[in-house]
């Protein structure tokens, strides 16, 4: 009986070995099928993702088109001129999926169209021109302290009277072709008769800082050639009119809007103002000139300083 059981066990073991071998053969045969099945499943999943991406892309394009239309209507309401141009619109590339290109009409405000349409495959390269070095404008405080910074203008004295609190001061009303006449004080009372002052043309420094003289604000200074014993108001050339500006050929700069007293520009310029030996008013030998009309003079006071 024991021997019979051993025979049976050997038979069962043999059967198990055979089945194991058979199972291994089946696995070998099924392996290629499993690989193909995996690939097919992956392909299906990929195709599904591609379709989902296409749908999402289509929805985005529709949303963009709606927003463009709304923008166009809003800009037309606000009076913004529209310029229409065909612009390529391409869908984003997806794995194993084709990219589509379509032309759509896009509204572009006229003031924002700075670029021309170019083909993406042949972009035009702009030639970059070398930038020229721009010289920084010279600030007034950095300009040379010369006569070009002083504004000298022709004015007409339309009225003159004595200062109520100073016997040596005239209070003059001067027409300089500005919005309104200026009040200018001078120390000519007692030296130049009042009748010679009224209704005459003269030169005035017009960008000095206004200053009070015995309680009255003076907005300029009359130009005279003078010494302790003699004085003459600088004469303007024939044809000069109120508002004409004196220029200096050797000093072409622009006058300051108002001279800064702290910079002492006038104090630097004044010592070089004088009438030459011929009575011509000059700054460092350069004549006071009114363009197209002539030069200014103090013929009775040659070699006198001008103040």
* Contacts of residue 106, Cβ cutoff 8 Å, sequence gap at least 6: 68, 84, 85, 86, 87
CA gap 122, 177 in Å, rounded: 63
Token duo for residue 192: 């130049």
- The set of residues, in sequence order, having a beta carbon less than 8 Å from that of 198 and lying 6+ positions away, is 157, 158, 159, 160
State the pTM of this model.
0.55
pLDDT above 60 for 165: yes
**Across 164-293, where does the E strand assignment appear?**
166-175, 182-186, 201-205, 211-213, 216-218, 221-222, 224-226, 231-233, 273-275, 281-283, 286-287, 289-290
| pLDDT tens-digit series, residues 43-60 | 777 778 878 888 888 888
pLDDT above 90: residue 163 = yes
Over residues 85-109, the pLDDT tens digits come to 555 544 444 444 444 444 444 444 4
- Which residue bears the tokens 């420094």? 205
CB atoms within 10 A of CB 12: 10
The predicted-structure confidence for 243-297, as pLDDT tens digits, reads as follows 999 999 999 989 999 999 999 999 999 999 999 999 999 999 999 999 999 999 9
Q: What is the DSSP string of 101-155?
A: EEEEEEEEEGGG--S----TTSPPPPP-PPPPPPPPPPPGGGS-SSGGGS-EEEE
Instruction: Round to the nearest angstrom and report the end-to-end CA distance of the chain.
Output: 154
Distance CA 100, CA 106 (A): 18
Contacts of 51 (CB under 8 A, 6+ apart): none
């Amino acid at each position: 009986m024991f021997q019979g059981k051993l025979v049976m066990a050997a038979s069962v073991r043999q059967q198990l070995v055979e089945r194991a071998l058979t199972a291994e053969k089946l696995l070998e045969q099924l392996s290629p099928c499993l690989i193909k099945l995996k690939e097919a499943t992956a392909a299906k999943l990929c195709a599904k993702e591609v379709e989902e991406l296409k749908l999402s892309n289509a929805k985005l394009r529709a949303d963009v088109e709606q927003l463009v239309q709304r923008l166009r209507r809003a800009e037309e309401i606000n009076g913004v001129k529209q310029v229409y141009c065909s612009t390529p619109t391409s869908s984003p590339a997806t794995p194993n999926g084709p990219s589509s290109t379509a032309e759509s009409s896009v509204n572009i405000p006229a003031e924002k169209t700075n670029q021309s349409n170019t083909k993406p495959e042949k972009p035009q390269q702009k030639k970059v021109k070398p930038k020229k070095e721009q010289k920084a404008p010279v600030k007034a405080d950095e300009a040379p302290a010369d006569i070009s910074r002083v504004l000298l203008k022709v004015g007409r004295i339309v009225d003159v009277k004595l200062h109520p609190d100073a016997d040596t001061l005239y209070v003059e009303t001067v027409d300089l072709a500005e919005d309104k006449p200026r009040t200018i004080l001078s120390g000519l009372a007692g030296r130049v008769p009042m009748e010679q002052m009224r209704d005459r043309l003269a030169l005035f420094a017009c960008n000095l800082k206004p200053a009070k003289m015995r309680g009255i604000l003076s907005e300029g200074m009359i130009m005279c050639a003078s010494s302790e014993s003699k004085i003459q108001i600088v004469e303007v050339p024939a044809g000069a009119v109120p508002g004409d500006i004196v220029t200096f050929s050797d000093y072409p700069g622009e006058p300051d809007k108002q001279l800064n007293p702290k910079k002492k520009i006038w104090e630097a310029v004044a010592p070089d103002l004088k009438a030459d030996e011929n009575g011509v008013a000059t700054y460092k030998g350069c004549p006071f000139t009114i363009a197209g009309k002539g030069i200014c003079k103090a013929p009775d006071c040659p070699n006198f300083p001008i103040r």
